[in-house]
Structure 1
């Protein structure tokens, strides 16, 4: 259905995540084919949009040409494949082949994915392959070759901002369905993108105003509520609640072994460095999401901390933080003549070019040439002429 709207071209979209855990729609791309060259061009366009700043981490599906393009164009970016892109493949690859054994295989596969130790993963993976007779299976070979991009024990050392969660995946799907579900032409698609983006901004404001209820009597919770966004506070709050079911045992070297009272999961090693209040847990939750885990929180509680050290409130999850900086002449000012003029020109161009394929091809060809000419001229101009601008919009951390 999507290809019928996009003149049989491939549709791709770029998403991020804001400090309320909501997807941010950065933009989309229409590609004539799925070649390495096309994917590389799309990534180059994204980098230009981001003013040359490459993402720290990028998530994608298993497409080999897209993976190669990411490796080529974003060599310093960690490439992660979400487990939610892998699980449907696992079902289609192995359910018929293994038959009645598939349920046992799937249970072991899920357990392997969640292991904290890479050494444990390597050992149990080999055991699983042997037990189910999958040593020569090409799909098992593929998954193993890509293990550093999807297995938790390998990827949790990289910052994912909870983009690999089920909730985030569902939010992205809902956004895309909202765009395509009611459209029958490319023109309607572009109009719907604008509507969806505006609704997304309104949703952001609604979430920011949500009241955050206390669920414990811990001073750490009260202090965190004053700093974190509702999304981040809720995540930390859940970890605080669960931490009460854990016990921390101090070791001779000052580290701690933290375990659930029913031993429903393995022990976690928490390293505490009192000199500068550093805490590190073997589960790597903070490194991955920027939210302290139940194990680290258990140690802070046992040490009678009433407030968490400031370093454990990342700017990404603070109430006052934002992925974009706006000056006093904000984009939210609907009377901003500069913004309205360019928005109107863009909408008109999209509307006229999406009526026929001939128009679309012509606009794409001529616009590329004209933009190249304009950019070359603009880049030759001084970067500062002393005149104040009415509108500024620049990326920030």
Structure 2
């Protein structure tokens, strides 16, 4: 139920108990789970729509659309106790609105450090923190010149991409020319025209995610995720991610201190951070940092796998006087992984007959599909083209590993997707 009422009516009739009102900018991805938790806790929850429509299965207290000609006036008259991003696309507007309304948030004057990868790397380097060699290029010829001087392979991506959107490892001149051309002056996943690309030296090592919450300008790390990739016809695609507690002996302590320093350098002073790091032979190097929670089902998996609550800590970090909920040691209460499903070709999805086999796996928890019968299904080359996510959990990691291998067997046999 999405209600559209004038702000004075909202204040008078929709919040008679004077409950805390939390607005989520683009409540998709992690924002979906944050909104559900806010409502479970008895808060009012408001959807500020941006790149996605508000989820229809959440009973938002009211909603605002940033494309509405009266948006600024309506928001100014609304009453909010906190405004937070639900997805990468909501970071800029959430920071701007929070500052405008005098609420807790990150400084909108430095938003570029948390969204633009060139500005991000510059801020980190200026703080004396190691970063990989990289350059911002506005033409294919500039990309080629930098790569020739630096050496292949190189990583090429839009400056403000997220979720692996248009991120490619280019081994040759031809591959670099083709991919840089595909990015420049083309819309990214949020519809923004890409005027420049970021080109980076390839970082060899293991890829990790580090997820935490900043409250009172102190970072609490909740989970460290370790990715595993597989080679699919020359493309390195994501196979799975395992989540570890920050105190786990398998976690390199250098990553934790590195991420704390990076968080300060880019100016995150409140709310969630999602940091991607390569652990190289010379130590950790930043891939990127985002001032929002882990996307997809990641935030929910972390919340279910560790205590105290990750999602409650995100919410509380924005509420003046609230406990961030992250005192003491972060403890993993169950072993969890996310498997990334793969489609080895593009086409139209006719059916998904193998989904029942996945649901019957011993460690199966839930499935999140991004495409439905009748939709176009892309060939999987990155996170953005992953057709579905599977949450797996079992006390025995060997059971999870066996279930992931079963998923790959189903994919290799063509049993999961029927594609025309």
Flag the structure with more relative contact order, 1 or 2, with Cα contacts below 8 A and sequence separation at least 6: 1
Report which of the two has the higher share of helix: 1
Q: Structure 2 length normalisation: TM-score?
A: 0.22
Q: Structure 1 length normalisation: TM-score?
A: 0.23
Report which of the two has the higher share of strand: 2
Larger Rg: 1
